[in-house]
Amino acid sequence: MVIQQTILFEEAKFIIQEKIIRHIAIIMDGNRRWANRQNLPHTIGHDTGRKTFKNIVKHASSLGLEYLTTYAFSTENWGRDKQEVFFLMDLFVESLRNEIKELADNNVRLKFIGRKDRLDNKFVQLMKKSEYDTSNNTGLTLQIALDYGSRFEIAMALKNIVQDVQNGTILCDDIDEKLIDSYLYTNNIPDPDLIIRTGGEYRLSNYLLWQSAYSELYITPTFWPEFDSEDFDNAIIEFSKRQRRWGKG
């Protein structure tokens, strides 16, 4: 078992070193369904998912991956039970306070994408401090999508473009795909090569819709709390076997 894991790790690491893959995005799905199957409260599912998240970030960093984006909380997740939402927000704050030093020590650069106006101000300040404290790190760039919705992101980008046209900062003729990219949360971050979705659902769920135009999708039935480094390496190896045609044939 250990030998097999080592082989997978080395193969995945080689793929990353060869720049075959630079950016992986993950839809971390299945915490609640995993808890249901275990006859456990949903809170245990989310807490176990947090531990999985920590392990995958550490593993991605050890592989030498450049960018990892994770879907932590969507704009639609506010519609869940209030107690569950409160628990998740407390979990985010606790995790950030406890893990930021380790992330910094491991040369990870942290970035949050999504809305900030609906989050507690103290949490937002903690997020900003975490981004600042890791801004000079040169290893893995970890983007956490929190209160994130791709349609809202695109709508706000278009709104800001219109405002800049009206105030003369840019011209209508300046508008192209590259310009729109620059108005998104993910400005200066390459589009994901691979999007992994755990939990077996076959949809993007309002996640990186613009950025995923030519991303490869990897769907696994494994619930997020059970997803491990071997699963992650297998996704990278599977990706390397695909032929990306970019619509050219």
Catalytically active residues, by annotation: 29, 77
Per the structure block, which two tokens stand in for 165?
Answer: 């046209």
Residue 159 token pair:
């709104």
State both tokens at 6. Answer: 């080592």
Helix axes 229-240, 2-17, angle to 10 degrees: 50
Please give the Cα distance from 62 to 41 (Å, whole number): 32
How far is Cα 197 from Cα 203, in angstroms, rounded to an integer?
8
Sheet holding 109-113, edge to edge: 109-113, 141-148, 67-74, 23-27, 194-197, 216-219
Amino acid at 4: Q
Q: What sign results for the dihedral spanned by CA atoms 39, 44, 46, 47?
A: negative
DSSP 8-class letter at 245: -
In the DSSP assignment, the letter for residue 30 is -
